[in-house]
Amino acid sequence: MTVDAPAEQVVLLDDAGFAIGTADKSLVHDAATPLHLAFSCYAFGPDGRMLLTRRALGKRTWPGVWTNACCGHPAPGEPIEDAVVRRVRQELGVEPTDLRLVLPDFRYRAVDASGTVEHEVCPVYLAELSGDPVPDPDEVAEWAWTDPRDFVGVALLAPHLLSPWSVLQAGELVRAGVPEFRLEPLE
């Protein structure tokens, strides 16, 4: 006899960002997605380059789109930092270190071409990676290291090439003065 794994749960939020319940992840990403808790992680290699990933073609939302290193949802009761580490390990096959919260209040709503809505309170983290990822092909189709300034430039000049959340986050990371995303040349 095999036992099915429990369905992944997401934390539902009220407009003020407080938890009000949970729901099966597969049931909340549709045309009427309720506000829920998520996170984004931008990862950097030892040389300061940033990891971009292209979402697997089988992803329900924004398949094949280039984005930040990793996104996900904390399980009910799971500290967000633990969820970030868990998802980076699962999606990218590498251990993140030096996790740092840089945009604690990021929130967005976006609709993909299929009509599926993302509606999330999505704190943004930075992490260090000691080497190249070995991604799960169900999550990541391709990956590349890039200069974070080039990423910001693409977000500004060709936003259609990136996920909508990473475009919005790029602007907020620059406005917040996060050093990795400064636009002036490195000295």
Binding residues: 29, 36, 73, 91, 118, 120
Cα 53 from Cα 146, distance rounded (Å): 10
Answer yes or no: 180 catalytic. no
The b/e string for 7-22 (b: 16+ C-beta within 10 A; e otherwise) is: eebbbbbeeeeeeeeb
Instruction: List the catalytic residue out of 120, 142, 172, 187.
Output: 120
Helix (H, G, I), strand (E, B) or coil at 17: coil
Answer yes or no: 71 catalytic. yes
Contact between residue 84 and residue 72 where contact means Cβ atoms under 8 Å apart = yes
Cα 112 from Cα 163, distance rounded (Å): 9
**Per the structure block, which two tokens stand in for 44?**
């950097």
H or E stretch covering 170: helix 164-175
CB atoms within 10 A of CB 59: 16
Please enumerate, by residue number, every residue annotated as part of a binding site for Mg(2+). Answer: 91
Please enumerate, by residue number, every residue annotated as part of a binding site for Mn(2+). Answer: 29, 36, 73, 118, 120
Instruction: List the catalytic residue out of 8, 41, 70, 71.
Output: 71
Give the chain's length: 187
| Catalytic residue positions, numbered | 71, 120
